[in-house]
């Protein structure tokens, strides 16, 4: 994408800004380390990381969104580099740059306020716009294209699994019936279809919320990329390297929680076997904290309400400290 493309100037408040960067423990000798911001967004975390880095420090950021890339390209700092790709590719990207180990990795999942508030992106049912939903508008198929060609059964499964929507089959049936009459090409059309299919509404939540979430997650392969990205992050973390992940819904948090727990709990052999304590398998991660935004942050930024940050530290070879 060229620098000449217009970037929408929309306000974005970075969730858990100070807390997330604090979790990376960029201090002492670590200020000259290498760090990864896996989700640049509008650069809140990256800019604060750069403020704390020493002159020899380095920050590699990733993002799939062309608008985020355009914003990142405005940062003129020799310690900073932006990669137009998913954080799931960080292993290959870091290898290509000769980086074997990093000191900290931050993943701020989900979508940003500018993405939600830009009707042209199609992420929100609050605005009428083209039904796109792609994080990277230069690749892949849009939500409208997918809904036009996918089977009713698969649409229902996606809405059920990724949106945890109990009326998924009814919604899929309604989508199939509508597309037989006319293309479903706008966010308003999809929201209206869902509203008619959902018989009861959760208090304070639009009936289209779960369906829009499900389609967005599926179109962008968010959960698959999260699983790949977590393993890539783990492989790249050096001893005492920190991994901080901010998630915004239960599907994401469940994956993060299980991944960290699996690395923090070493497999235990049969106790009947004659194995010395020193030879027992040791954990690879140490779980440090779980944090949510405080009341003041939620009051200032309601979108922070569902955020959960989990932090873990890579243990040296040989086990826990």
Strands 308-314 and 285-291: antiparallel
- pLDDT-derived band at 199 (thresholds 50, 70, 90) equals confident
pTM of the model: 0.89
- The predicted pLDDT at position 110 comes to 83
Nearest 5°: phi and psi at 34? Answer: -110, 130
- The predicted pLDDT at position 10 comes to 46
Reduce the DSSP state of residue 83 to 3 states and report it. strand
| Domain chopping of the chain, boundaries | 17-113+222-314, 143-219
117 has a pLDDT exceeding 50: yes
- pLDDT-derived band at 2 (thresholds 50, 70, 90) equals very low
Among 3.40.50.150, 3.30.505.10, 3.40.630.30, 3.40.50.720, what is the CATH number of 17-113+222-314?
A: 3.40.50.150
- The predicted pLDDT at position 6 comes to 41
270 has a pLDDT exceeding 60: no
- The predicted pLDDT at position 112 comes to 84
- The predicted pLDDT at position 274 comes to 60
Tell me which DSSP letter residue 313 carries.
E
Which residue did the predictor score with more confidence, 267 or 40?
40
Averaged confidence pLDDT in the chain: 91
The structure tokens listed for 71 are: 């914003």
- pLDDT-derived band at 200 (thresholds 50, 70, 90) equals confident
Strands 237-247 and 308-314: antiparallel
Residue-wise pLDDT tens digits, 213-226: 999 999 999 999 99
Tell me which DSSP letter residue 208 carries.
T
- pLDDT-derived band at 318 (thresholds 50, 70, 90) equals very low
The CATH code for residues 143-219 is 1.10.150.170
Q: For 18-44, what is the mean pLDDT?
A: 97
Residue numbers belonging to the annotated binding site for S-adenosyl-L-methionine: 43-45, 63, 87, 108, 115
4 has a pLDDT exceeding 50: no
- The predicted pLDDT at position 266 comes to 67
């Amino acid at each position: 994408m060229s620098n000449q493309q217009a970037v929408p100037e929309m306000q974005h408040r970075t969730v858990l800004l100070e807390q997330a960067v604090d979790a990376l423990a960029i201090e002492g000798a670590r200020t000259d380390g290498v760090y990864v911001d896996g989700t640049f967004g509008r650069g809140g975390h990256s800019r604060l990381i750069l403020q704390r880095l020493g002159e020899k420090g380095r920050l590699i950021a990733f993002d799939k969104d062309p608008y985020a890339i355009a914003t990142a390209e405005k940062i003129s700092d020799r310690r900073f580099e932006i990669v137009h790709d998913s954080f799931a590719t960080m292993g290959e990207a870091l290898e290509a740059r000769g980086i074997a180990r990093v000191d900290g990795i931050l993943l701020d999942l989900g979508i940003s306020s500018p993405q939600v508030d830009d009707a042209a992106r199609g992420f929100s049912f609050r605005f009428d716009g083209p039904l796109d939903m792609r994080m990277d508008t230069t690749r892949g198929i849009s939500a409208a294209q997918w809904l036009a060609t996918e089977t009713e059964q698969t649409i229902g499964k996606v809405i059920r699994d990724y949106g945890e929507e109990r009326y998924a089959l009814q919604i899929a049936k309604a989508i199939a019936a509508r597309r037989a009459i006319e293309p479903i090409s706008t966010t308003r059309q999809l929201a209206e279809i869902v509203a008619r299919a959902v018989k009861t509404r959760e208090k304070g939540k639009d009936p289209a919320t779960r369906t829009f979430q499900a389609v967005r997650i599926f179109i962008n392969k968010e959960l698959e990329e999260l699983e790949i990205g977590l393993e890539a992050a783990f492989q790249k973390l050096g001893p005492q390297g920190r991994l901080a992940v901010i998630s915004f819904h239960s599907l994401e948090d469940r994956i993060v929680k299980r991944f960290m727990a699996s690395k923090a709990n070493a497999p235990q052999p049969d106790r009947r076997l004659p194995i010395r304590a020193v030879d027992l398998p040791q954990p690879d991660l140490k779980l440090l904290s779980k944090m949510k935004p405080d009341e003041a942050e939620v009051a200032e930024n309601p979108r922070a309400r569902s955020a959960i940050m989990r932090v873990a530290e890579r243990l040296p070879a040989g086990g826990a400290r």
